Amino acid sequence: MPFRRASANRGENELERLEIEFELLENEFELLEIEFERLENEFELFQNVLEPFENELELLENDLERLENELKLLENVLERLEFDLKLAPAPSVPYTTVMNDSPPAAHLLLSTAREVENRIETALDAVGLSLAKLNVLSRLVEAGEPVPLGSLAEKCSCVRSNMTQLVDRLEEEQLVERLGDPKDRRSVRAVLTATGRERHAAGAKVLAETEAQIFGRFAEIDRQALARIAALVRAEE
């Protein structure tokens, strides 16, 4: 009997010890939950602070890309004007026609191009895209397979660093995924997701509708004249 009482006492002591340890673990777990919740709140605050800067950076990148395109267009126009000036004969009478009161050709072309671009950008923004993003998605749709970022930059006529940032944003929006290249470990490829394919279809539809709104009023002779002007501007010497 004394042995049984001693064993019972040891069992009770052990149970009491385990209960105390369990209670300590519960308290520690509760503290960890509180700490985790605090970290989650801090992370959410950090994201809220960072988001405006990300949006502003994206706008600046879009503006920079638009300016680069305008600069290329202006360079082509200036080259063509320089070529025309070389071939044009000297005027025999003072140049006093109504054309003096018209805007310069380069200004007219650039302002018209900006107006068309702004209308298209505004329309695409409604489906969460921009011309730059739609261009990348279109190139991936055309390829029908993963495309290395370097090749994608060439297809879109932009530098590799800009393409990397653009793919970053598309990946964040789950429109594309990055894949490794089994043939080249240094190469990174981009591939469309199902969401990206749906977004591209929506963007292509908006683009077609917007172009129809802008150019639908053009008569055939206007379209032919526009095509001739574009061909002249792009023509090499």
| Strand order across the beta sheet in which 176-181 lies | 147-148, 184-192, 176-181
pLDDT band (50, 70, 90) for residue 204: very high
Supply the DSSP symbol for 93.
Answer: S
- CA-nearest of 170, 127, 125, 124 to 147 is 170
Taking only the tens place, the pLDDT of each residue in 113-125 is 888 888 999 999 9
Q: Which two tokens stand for residue 103?
A: 């805007």
Q: What angle do CA 224, 69, 191 make, to 5 degrees?
A: 100
The residue ranges of every structural domain in the chain are 1-88
Per-residue pLDDT at 87: 44
Supply the pLDDT for residue 89.
44
First-to-last alpha carbon distance for the chain, in angstroms, is 115
Confidence of residue 214 (pLDDT cuts 50, 70, 90): confident
Nearest to 202 by CA among 155, 133, 149, 146: 133
Band of residue 90 on the pLDDT scale cut at 50, 70, 90: very low
Identify the pLDDT of residue 185: 75
Dihedral sign of CA atoms 137, 142, 148, 154 in order: negative
User: Above 80 in pLDDT, residue 81?
Assistant: no
> Which residue carries 């520690």 as its tokens?
28
User: Are the C-beta atoms of residues 153 and 165 closer than 8 Å to each other?
Assistant: no
Q: For residue range 27-75, what is the model confidence (pLDDT) as tens digits?
A: 888 888 888 888 888 888 877 777 777 777 777 787 777 777 777 766 6
Res 141: pLDDT: 93
| Long-range contact set of residues 148-154: C-beta below 8 Å, sequence gap at least 24 | 148/181, 148/187, 148/188, 148/189, 148/190, 149/187, 149/188, 149/189, 149/190, 150/187, 152/190
Please state, for a pLDDT cut of 90, what percent of the chain lies above it.
Answer: 20
pLDDT (average), residues 7-36: 80
Confidence of residue 107 (pLDDT cuts 50, 70, 90): confident
